[in-house]
Amino acid sequence: MQNENQKATAAMDTNTTTTQALTPEMETHLQRLKCWRREQKFTEEVMHGLAASDGAERIRLYFEQVIYTVRNAAPEHLVSFMNAYVRGLKDGVQVPDSLEYAVLFQQIDLLKEILDQYEGKPFWQDWMKVYRFLLSVIEGKLTHEEVLKQSQVLKSEVRDQSLHVRLDLVAVTAHRNLRNYEKINVLLQHLSKRLDVLEFSFMKSALKSRMELAEARTLLFSTGDVSKAEKKFSRVIMNNATPSALVIAAYQDRGLSMLNQSLVEQSKNCLQSFKIAMSRAKQFGLEKDYEQTKREYLPFVRNLHGQKFDASDAPLKEQAHQLIVRGENERALYLIEDLSARGMGEVFLSFYKAKALKDTELMSQVRDQFKDENFAYMVPIVDREIRSLDN
């Protein structure tokens, strides 16, 4: 006779979502552990008790089942409750999933605790190497070039295929920050098959979502196929196995993929995607993602839509952009020149300068620059500006 864990395993192939993994038996299991009832609210104490039982019971819950259940039962406490769950796990239980969770949600203190707990234990040596490296990455201690170099060195030192995939994906992120999309494409070509053979786990779902997000971003930034990109971002969002932190990133980038169409149709679909990203970030306690969406993405999008608003908290380049929206082009140009003189000049600033000057030739140069620097989603937006200036 199959137990609950075996039934869940039997139902899970590489395409199974977390929703399908949440069987009625799992709810029975939660109730049998006497740490949760359907009418009961989740608390940190409940999570700690669940973790302790999880380590002691022969029938174990998957990490992904736990995080999905908490996300639905108490989304506003997702991070604090999962932190309590991870801290309550018995020695050696769900270590890879716990490590990836801590990195994904940028829970630096928790990650350090796990690393210290397993430091010096031979079985986990390779995992400690890779995740200490990832700790340095999320703490911003390494340049993108250093990330690429160290990820290659580590790949030669560790054997686990999950760790190889993880290192390739951190290399994808570094290449994206360096706008090296050709190298990203090379890495992505080999990742899908290697991911498919990994065992079902929260880590596998997180890695697969990272890969799909990277594929969608390549369409958005490199090839400029915004329609395909939007569909891919939507699939990442709709997949219940996608971790919450990556759902927020997908909403942000889906907003960019909808930007030109939103401007053409004068619709609010693009803005709505960013507002959902903010709402989800706030709900899941991801302050950094919330602030990034509020202070960087939204001012940029609202300026392109010609909205007037208080931009005092926005980046200086978007403050200049808002001045153009208000028709204060001289003030905008003064700020743009000042930023350029301070070494802060970049393609978006050149775009705003061309808008302020109403300079078709400069706008055409900016168009080529956007394409060369892998901001391909901006090309049709610049084309609209050029047509507007020519009329």
The two three-digit tokens of residue 383, written as one number: 């084309």
Residue 13: other Cβ atoms inside 10 A: 9
In this structure, the answer to whether residues 279 and 346 fall within a common structural domain is no
- What is the average pLDDT across 118-126? 95
In the DSSP assignment, the letter for residue 77 is G
- What is the average pLDDT across 266-279? 92
Q: Which residues contact 93 (CB under 8 A, 6 or more apart)?
A: 54, 55, 60
pLDDT of 54 reads: 57
Q: How far apart are CA 146 and CA 223, in angstroms?
A: 27
**What is the tally of structural domains in the chain?**
2
Choose one of 306, 324, 354: the last residue of a domain.
Answer: 306
Choose one of 287, 306, 325: the last residue of a domain.
Answer: 306
**Can you give the residue range of the structural domain that contains 246?**
224-306
Q: How far is CA 125 from the centre of its chain?
A: 27
In this structure, the answer to whether residues 373 and 362 fall within a common structural domain is yes
Residue 258 one-letter amino acid:
M
Phi-psi category of 143—alpha, beta or left, where left has phi over 0 and alpha has psi -120 to 50?
A: beta
Q: Give pLDDT tens digits for 308-324.
A: 999 999 999 999 999 99
In this structure, the answer to whether residues 268 and 282 fall within a common structural domain is yes
Model pTM score: 0.82
Asked if the structure places residue 366 within a domain, the reply is yes
Choose one of 306, 330, 361: the last residue of a domain.
Answer: 306
In this structure, the answer to whether residues 295 and 322 fall within a common structural domain is no
Q: Give pLDDT tens digits for 171-197.
A: 999 999 999 999 999 999 889 889 989
Using pLDDT thresholds of 50, 70 and 90, give the confidence band for residue 272.
very high
pLDDT of 18 reads: 36
Asked if the structure places residue 101 within a domain, the reply is no
Indicate the angle between helix axes 78-88 and 44-56, nearest 10 degrees.
30
Q: Return the half-sphere exposure (C-beta side, CA atoms, 13 A cut-off) of residue 88.
A: 20
Asked if the structure places residue 198 within a domain, the reply is no
In this structure, the answer to whether residues 331 and 321 fall within a common structural domain is yes
Q: What percent of the chain has pLDDT over 70?
A: 86
The two three-digit tokens of residue 103, written as one number: 């990195």
Using pLDDT thresholds of 50, 70 and 90, give the confidence band for residue 38.
low
In this structure, the answer to whether residues 313 and 288 fall within a common structural domain is no
In this structure, the answer to whether residues 302 and 313 fall within a common structural domain is no
Say which residue the tokens 């290697």 belong to. Answer: 194
Q: Give pLDDT tens digits for 55-113.
A: 544 445 678 878 887 887 778 888 898 999 999 888 888 999 999 999 999 899 999 99
**CA nearest 168: which of 182, 179, 183?**
183
In this structure, the answer to whether residues 286 and 319 fall within a common structural domain is no
Q: Give pLDDT tens digits for 315-359.
A: 999 999 999 999 999 999 999 999 999 988 799 999 999 999 999
Residue 73: other Cβ atoms inside 10 A: 16
Q: Is the dihedral of CA 238, 243, 248, 249 positive or negative?
A: negative
In this structure, the answer to whether residues 231 and 245 fall within a common structural domain is yes
Asked if the structure places residue 196 within a domain, the reply is no
> Tell me, what CATH number does 341's domain have?
1.25.40
Asked if the structure places residue 334 within a domain, the reply is yes
In this structure, the answer to whether residues 288 and 319 fall within a common structural domain is no
Asked if the structure places residue 298 within a domain, the reply is yes
The two three-digit tokens of residue 245, written as one number: 């932190």
Asked if the structure places residue 64 within a domain, the reply is no
The answer, yes or no, to whether residue 32 has pLDDT greater than 70, is no
Asked if the structure places residue 181 within a domain, the reply is no
In this structure, the answer to whether residues 338 and 274 fall within a common structural domain is no
